[in-house]
Amino acid sequence: MTSEATGERLQKVMAAAGVASRRVCEQYIAEGRVAVNGEIITEPGRRVDPFTDRVTVDGTAIQLDTSRRYVMLNKPVGVVSSMKDEQGRPDLTRYTNRYEERLFNVGRLDADTSGLLILTNDGELAHVLAHPSFGVEKTYIAKVQGEATPTTMKKLMAGIELEDGLIAADKARIIGAASRGQTMVEITLHSGKNRIVRRMLDAVGHPVLELVRRQFGPLHLGTLPVGQARDLSKVELGRLLTIARAESNPASDLESDPA
């Protein structure tokens, strides 16, 4: 816990983090809506360390360290999820170079998959979100070959036996009617196994033709154009940090994301 003789005043760092004006932050504190490291604070004179203390407002986490950056990218097909590709393929530096901070990707999407990818310089958050024990849900839209049926969706949710074990989707549904021998499928799962969406759909006889990740935990791609990036909103960041901080003891080994 931060010593009362050190650190910065709570309302000051909250205001600097963009929570609200200093006066409004003082009001939040007085109303008992602010907690530091799990302890409700009602006195605005409390001093905190913005780099180590964890603060919540109404139970939602806020980031006091203003040096941290969180960006959502709609990764195009053909771009690899790395900062340098040994084969010389397009990589993520074309997007990260525009920021002053040194950003890196949270997890991966393979080169043939487009969609939501998080870029950040927050190593702790990246470690938790990328680790399979965290179990963050990801939602994909896949165009698959063949006319998929509700029975096939039930099979995906019941579990598919692959070479590395039984894998089940959390949700799976058909979007619209099949057209020209192709079907649009929405699938949600939390597995971190490599290329798991493609492998599952291939196993039930519907090879993936196109694959887009639309959602990562509480984050939605929305109308962000392909190849564009934007900072997370305060609301989005709060939701992401709240979920990430709820994971108390993430293990040490990371896996790739399931695309």
C-alpha 207/C-alpha 223 separation (Å) is: 27
Beta bridge mates, 138 = 189, 216
Sign of CA dihedral 160, 165, 171, 177: negative
| Residues with catalytic function | 110
**Residue partners of 144: CB distance under 8 A and separation at least 6:** 182, 183, 184, 185, 201, 206, 207, 208, 209
C-alpha 258/C-alpha 151 separation (Å) is: 23
How far, in Å, are 90, 105, 113, 140 from residue 214 at the CA level? 22, 16, 11, 5
Q: Which of 7, 44, 38, 50 shows the shortest CA–CA distance to 24?
A: 44
The residue type of 4 is E
